[in-house]
Structure 1
Amino acid sequence: MSVETGRITTDIPARLDRLPWARWHWLVVIGLGTVWILDGLEVTIVGSMSDALKPHDTGLGMNSFDVGFAGAAYVAGACIGALFFGHLTDRFGRKKLFMLTLGIYTIATVLTAFSPNPLWYFAARFLTGAGIGGEYAAINSAIDELIPAAHRGRVDVAINGSFWVGAAAGSLLTIPLLDPSIVDPAWGWRIAFGLGAVLAAGILVVRRNVPESPRWLFIHGREDEAEEIVRDIERTVQEESGARLSEPDDTITIRQRKSIGFGLIARTVISLYPRRTILCFSLFVGQAFLYNAFFFTYGDTLTTFLGVKQTGWYIAVFAVFNFLGALVLSPLFDKVGRVRMIAGTYILSGVLLGAAGVFLGDFNAVTLTMMGGVIFFFASAGASAAYLTASEVFPLETRALCIAFFYAIGTAVGGISGPLFFGWLIQQASADKDITAIAAGYFVGAVLMIAGGVVEAFLGVKAEGRSLESIAQPLTVEDDGGSGDDDRPLRTRPAPAG
């Protein structure tokens, strides 16, 4: 139950948003954002290592169903972990949870590497997914609350796009690890998982220096801690940039609470922001279906229809296009605007995907990979912006849980149905080796992406350059009427002079 503990007027959000970019912000990016590299590494290694897990002598004696079940266990863990840890992130703070979830991922990955049997492997994959799912909620909320408003869009999109750095690394890593002349087959897949744990341990060391979100602290009655952290950030940024900081131009009055009830959070999302709920649902389902359907069955498509024996090189090229798209296009989400860029990337990638389906029979392995690269150059920026949207357009008290909710829904709806649908299409067409028979999957993905873009065009929120508090008022704000979906700016008081 929520209990009011006091009321304060603070200028902390304005002070954080007016900071110039400095090395300190790179600490936040590296300490928090690199988890997406881990996820990309994890997913790609698992997809590439499926055959290595099947032998009884060097693997775990798993069959194709077992491999698919392990993938489903990872997805289920990610969905449950996102919801469970997302709620805890809003309740107990960003830092406690982003340390905990990365620790869970690290331990679970080590357990995966030492799996003695399939049951152990399934359980370890579920826990690994739970850690990664919790990371999505804790990290996105923390990043957005620490990064200045002028840079928030490009940073979020680029960080989410770094998933593909891990995917490319994982693809290339599997090439020597799956070569029996280089690595013993009994150790190759175990080493791959072990390397992920080593990288995660390194990130944990860096992450210890990232502070708790001052925004979360002052709402939960810990304004002295928030003030101390912000003063330290200001001092560090001023020393690093050499710039004289301007005075903050507004304040916000908050009714502090130790905790916010889950019922209030749910009512807020459903009743106060119904259009934003529809928007996030459309964006997450579209991108989850597209990526999980196309990318995670792409190796199977290459081997079944196009005679490719070693898929690692192709997947690595595909991953590079994805990362470049998020990196190159990310500044435009702040300059051109969220609505135009998200709608444009979703619709354009959907149209290109539909065209690829029409001409699918004319591609070979190289040209299909290049076409896929072009499609996902745009789609990766749009998909990354789906996470940005969920983390911006809901109140601070609900931010982590909202990210978790839409991630879980999108993954459950698109992330499970997509691979099952594509897998069924590939199996049906494998006897005739007719790649055109899987075009239906391309068309469904194209429709969902275009639909997401259209919804963004009509319901999108112009969040570029705005403080989080002006996009969605905190539930505890001292104000005589929340803005909700009418998107009115938050009324703030001018900061006191002196």
Structure 2
Amino acid sequence: MTSLHKRFAGIMALGNFFEIYELFLSGVLATTLKRTFALTGLDLSLVLASAFIGAFLGAVAIGRLADRIGRRGAYMLTLTLYSAATLACVFAPNLWSLILFRFIAGIGLGGELPVTDSFLGDILPPAQRGRYAAWAFTAAYLAVPVVGFLGMTLVDGAPLGMAGWRWMFAIGSLGALLTFLARRGLPESPRWLDSVGRTAEADEVTARFERAAEAEAWKPPADPAPAIAVDSTVPLTTSSLFRKPLARRTLIMAVLWILAPVGYYGFSSLATLVLASKGATVTSSLTYLTFSFIGYPLGSYLSMLVMDRYERKWILGASLAGMGLCGLAYGNASTAVTIIASGFCFTMVANVMSNAGHIYQLEQFPTSVRTTATGWLYSLSRLSTAAAPFYLIPLLDSYGAGAVFTLVAAAMLLAALAVAFGVRTTGLSVETISDPGFPTAGAPASTRVPAKTP
């Protein structure tokens, strides 16, 4: 693991920072936008869902595009769409223009995570892939408390005569522009280059990593281990995801990404509305929410400590169950202390789940369809998230927060059960995991491949 790996992981984290910023922005601004535009329940659901509907389309389209044109080109496209559309949100004159611009921004956001995950899976060494992918997400999730604190500072004001909620969109757009400039120095994925036959270019990028390792006192072994064969010499089609041996993995991950967002984004989108239903004011609910949001980066940091020490599917299953229990506590909390404590525990466990899910996802599929698979599966996540306000808000209005989080708990436990049937991945190369002969229950330790990376 060289400083070059860390640098590129840092650039991925920067891009994800502003994606996470945008995804959590709607929940923070929900009550403010409802008041500003005099929104009905359906109008508010459309505002909250618009970015996620766009993200559904972006994940499918850009995920497949990244396996055709490469990871780097897809990065630049996602950032361009996101930054331009988010800047347009600043000047949105009415509700429908805001929904349109949020939808377009969502297309860019939808492609961001699949491409980032695939790039990290392509370049990080097996023995430390979990830790440093979790590190990249940890840095990104610092955006969550930032959104909360900005909401507390700006939402009720109008600096320089512009409404605070418009400033929050402007900050997201400028951040995406900075990320665009930083990402110009990224190389293309050497595994992707090799998978499409551009072997000489793949070798150039790999040599760059080798020079970085040698500069940090690494010496090539006198008797090197046999090279790991590339996982697919012929590019696979999208239909291969629904045939053996990949169909089972596709199904398990589909169940995960349909159910997990019910809790993860259900909390972030409805948190201020849940607190309002308990009688909290806008200011006090944002205060409670900001302290709860501190759990996101802390949970992400916690995941770094365990991700390469234990089998990832069990970390994922345990954290899903933890979300269900903490959600029940949050839904039934009635005092400031219990609201903040249960919200903090929920967000902390949620980000252990999120990081474990992202890392487990990027390890499942061969290089030639890795981003396609990730995009399709994340698209289910976005669709699930877009649908959530349409049934969670009526449930909240009719039966209260306790009923909402009972539904969340049931969804989390079902997802945990599905993940238990997944393959083992911790410490294994992506080529070994994507081998058609790799056993479903996981390979014994003797078959594990020594850490090898570009």
User: 1:44–1:170: 8 Å Cα contact kept in structure 2?
Assistant: yes
Structure-2 residue corresponding to 1:276: 249
Cα distance, 1:135 vs structure 2? 0.5
User: 2:54–2:106: 8 Å Cα contact kept in structure 1?
Assistant: yes
User: 2:425–2:442: 8 Å Cα contact kept in structure 1?
Assistant: no
Pick the aligned partner of 1:426 from 396, 400, 424. Answer: 396
Alignment of 1:263-302 (within 5 A): 264-302=237-275
Alignment of 1:98-137 (within 5 A): 98-137=75-114
Structure-2 residue corresponding to 1:213: 189
Structure-2 residue corresponding to 1:144: 121
Cα distance, 1:208 vs structure 2? 1.4
Change beyond 3 A, Cα 1:286–1:396: same
Change beyond 3 A, Cα 1:99–1:422: same
Cα distance, 1:302 vs structure 2? 1.2
Q: SS at the partner of 1:331? A: helix
The whole-number CA distance in structure 1 between the counterparts of 2:439 and 2:367 is 13
Change beyond 3 A, Cα 1:86–1:252: same
The whole-number CA distance in structure 1 between the counterparts of 2:44 and 2:396 is 17
User: 1:292–1:419: 8 Å Cα contact kept in structure 2?
Assistant: no
User: 2:364–2:433: 8 Å Cα contact kept in structure 1?
Assistant: yes
User: 1:250–1:492: 8 Å Cα contact kept in structure 2?
Assistant: no
For the pair shown, the structure with the greater C-alpha radius of gyration is: 1
Q: SS at the partner of 2:424? A: coil
The whole-number CA distance in structure 2 between the counterparts of 1:245 and 1:303 is 61
Cα distance, 1:53 vs structure 2? 4.3
Pick the aligned partner of 1:86 from 53, 56, 63. Answer: 63
Farther-moved stretch of structure 1 (84-93 vs 315-324): 315-324
Change beyond 3 A, Cα 1:162–1:316: farther
User: 1:77–1:130: 8 Å Cα contact kept in structure 2?
Assistant: yes
**Pairing 1:455–2:432 present:** no
Structure-1 residue corresponding to 2:11: 31
Q: SS at the partner of 1:36? A: helix
Alignment of 1:36-115 (within 5 A): 36-53=16-33, 65-115=42-92
Cα distance, 1:64 vs structure 2? 5.2
User: 2:432–2:438: 8 Å Cα contact kept in structure 1?
Assistant: no
Q: SS at the partner of 2:402? A: helix
Cα distance, 1:289 vs structure 2? 0.6
Q: Cα deviation per residue 1:94-131 (whole Å; 9 max; x = unaligned)?
A: 11101111111111111111223333322211111000
CA RMSD of aligned residues (A): 2.7
Structure-2 residue corresponding to 1:440: 403
User: 1:324–1:377: 8 Å Cα contact kept in structure 2?
Assistant: yes
The whole-number CA distance in structure 2 between the counterparts of 1:60 and 1:356 is 29
Alignment of 1:146-225 (within 5 A): 146-180=123-157, 183=159, 186-225=162-201
Q: SS at the partner of 1:335? A: coil
Cα distance, 1:460 vs structure 2? 2.5
Structure-1 residue corresponding to 2:353: 382
The whole-number CA distance in structure 2 between the counterparts of 1:170 and 1:43 is 10
Change beyond 3 A, Cα 1:248–1:61: farther
Give the counterpart letter for 1:387 in structure 2.
Answer: H
Give the counterpart letter for 1:305 in structure 2.
Answer: K
Alignment of 1:395-410 (within 5 A): 395-410=366-381
**Pairing 1:394–2:365 present:** yes
Cα distance, 1:51 vs structure 2? 5.0
Percent identity between the aligned chains? Answer: 24
The whole-number CA distance in structure 2 between the counterparts of 1:381 and 1:344 is 9
Pick the aligned partner of 1:321 from 295, 300, 303. Answer: 295
Give the counterpart letter for 1:157 in structure 2.
Answer: A
Change beyond 3 A, Cα 1:492–1:92: farther
Cα distance, 1:491 vs structure 2? 9.5
The whole-number CA distance in structure 2 between the counterparts of 1:419 and 1:36 is 24
User: 2:423–2:441: 8 Å Cα contact kept in structure 1?
Assistant: no
Give the counterpart letter for 1:48 in structure 2.
Answer: V
Cα distance, 1:198 vs structure 2? 1.3
Structure-1 residue corresponding to 2:316: 342
Q: Cα deviation per residue 1:25-48 (whole Å; 9 max; x = unaligned)?
A: 221122112233212322333333
User: 2:423–2:439: 8 Å Cα contact kept in structure 1?
Assistant: no
Change beyond 3 A, Cα 1:100–1:320: same
Change beyond 3 A, Cα 1:283–1:154: farther
The whole-number CA distance in structure 1 between the counterparts of 2:39 and 2:318 is 43
Cα distance, 1:463 vs structure 2? 1.0
The whole-number CA distance in structure 1 between the counterparts of 2:267 and 2:31 is 20
**Pairing 1:471–2:433 present:** yes
Farther-moved stretch of structure 1 (460-469 vs 35-44): 35-44
The whole-number CA distance in structure 2 between the counterparts of 1:191 and 1:366 is 31
The whole-number CA distance in structure 2 between the counterparts of 1:312 and 1:40 is 18
Give the counterpart letter for 1:189 in structure 2.
Answer: W
Q: Which runs of 5+ in 1 are unaligned?
A: 1-20, 430-436, 474-480
Alignment of 1:358-377 (within 5 A): 360=332, 363-377=334-348
Change beyond 3 A, Cα 1:418–1:237: same
Change beyond 3 A, Cα 1:278–1:116: same
Cα distance, 1:92 vs structure 2? 1.1
Cα distance, 1:154 vs structure 2? 2.0
Farther-moved stretch of structure 1 (185-194 vs 370-379): 185-194
Give the counterpart letter for 1:234 in structure 2.
Answer: E
User: 1:272–1:485: 8 Å Cα contact kept in structure 2?
Assistant: no
The whole-number CA distance in structure 2 between the counterparts of 1:46 and 1:227 is 44
The whole-number CA distance in structure 1 between the counterparts of 2:334 and 2:94 is 40
Structure-2 residue corresponding to 1:16: none
Q: Cα deviation per residue 1:318-357 (whole Å; 9 max; x = unaligned)?
A: 2211221121122312112213312222223323434555
User: 2:261–2:381: 8 Å Cα contact kept in structure 1?
Assistant: yes
Cα distance, 1:217 vs structure 2? 0.3
Cα distance, 1:74 vs structure 2? 0.9
Change beyond 3 A, Cα 1:233–1:335: same
